[in-house]
């Protein structure tokens, strides 16, 4: 462990779902004070632009299903910059503690004597719920929320999906767009009703967000219309409460305000 008194510090910061106005004040201040900024591929240009002149900017390219900088390389890079005495900001989409590898990075840095700070951010499921006006929990319909990811291993969905059988559980599946058909089959096999409401949100939280509504059975066909943005899937009775028209109306009002 290093005991260098000149070592800098690393802030593991949540950038939220994309729009800079959904970043917390603490996150904005962290980026504004950064001397080195390591940011993920999905980080918005507006968020990156908050960094001051002279700040070292490095894109780490962390994006599901695409080539990116190896985690070990990112760890070593943060360590090297911190040992130069710099204030390093590791800017992550959403919240660092939700599929953001914050545990791995913080353990590595602390193990090398680098002080860290974690700044939370709005995660995609919360952003989608607010944007399209549905709750993640609701009395009599959803008493718990499960945040999970979905990936295929040898053609089968990996992981334990027993929680999916509970009709009062809202499932928030990150990075599940490419496996939505297998996901539906697996959840139905676990005991979830095929007509359970389901939705997918592409670019959750952003101005270009799109909502696809259906059921466990029908959502895969609807999602075939989706573009290439990150997709969040919500499964549970609360999904039926989503209101895409209210989001369209809000965007129209905002656009009119900008033109005025």
Q: How far apart are CA 223 and CA 215, in angstroms?
A: 11
Tokens representing 194? 């095929």
Q: How many angstroms separate the most distant Cα atoms in the chain?
A: 60
Contacts (Cβ under 8 Å, ≥6 apart) of 73: none
Is-catalytic flag, 92? no
Q: Choose, from 40, 70, 95, 160, the residue flagged as catalytic.
A: 40
Tokens representing 26? 């603490």
Classify 197 as helix, strand or coil. strand
Q: Are 17 and 122 in contact (CB under 8 A)?
A: yes
Q: Choose, from 4, 21, 46, 62, the residue flagged as catalytic.
A: 62
Classify 250 as helix, strand or coil. helix
Tokens representing 158? 């990996």
Is-catalytic flag, 62? yes
Contacts (Cβ under 8 Å, ≥6 apart) of 130: none
Supply the residues annotated as catalytic. Answer: 40, 62
């Amino acid at each position: 462990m290093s005991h260098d008194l000149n070592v800098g510090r690393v802030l593991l910061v949540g950038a939220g779902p994309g729009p800079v106005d959904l970043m917390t004040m603490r996150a904005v201040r962290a980026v504004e004070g950064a001397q080195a900024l390591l940011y993920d591929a999905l980080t918005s240009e507006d968020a990156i632009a908050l960094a001051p002149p002279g700040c070292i900017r490095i894109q780490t390219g962390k994006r599901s299903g695409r080539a990116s900088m190896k985690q070990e390389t990112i760890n070593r890079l943060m360590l090297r910059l911190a040992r130069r005495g710099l204030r390093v900001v590791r800017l992550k989409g959403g919240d660092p503690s939700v599929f953001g590898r914050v545990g791995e990075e913080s353990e590595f840095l602390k193990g090398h004597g680098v002080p860290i700070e974690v700044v939370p951010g709005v995660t995609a499921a919360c952003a989608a719920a607010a944007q399209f006006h549905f709750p993640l929990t609701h009395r009599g319909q959803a008493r718990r929320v499960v945040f999970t990811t979905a990936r295929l291993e040898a053609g089968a969905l990996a992981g334990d999906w027993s929680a999916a059988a509970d009709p009062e559980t809202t499932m928030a599946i990150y990075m599940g767009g490419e496996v939505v058909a297998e996901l539906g089959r697996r959840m139905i096999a676990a005991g979830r009703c095929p007509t359970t409401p389901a939705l997918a949100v592409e670019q959750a939280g952003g101005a270009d967000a799109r909502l696809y509504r259906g059921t466990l059975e029908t959502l895969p066909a609807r999602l075939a219309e989706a573009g290439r943005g990150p997709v969040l899937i919500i499964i549970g009775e609360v999904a039926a409460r989503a209101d895409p028209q209210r989001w369209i109306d809000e965007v129209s009002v905002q656009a009119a305000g900008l033109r005025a």
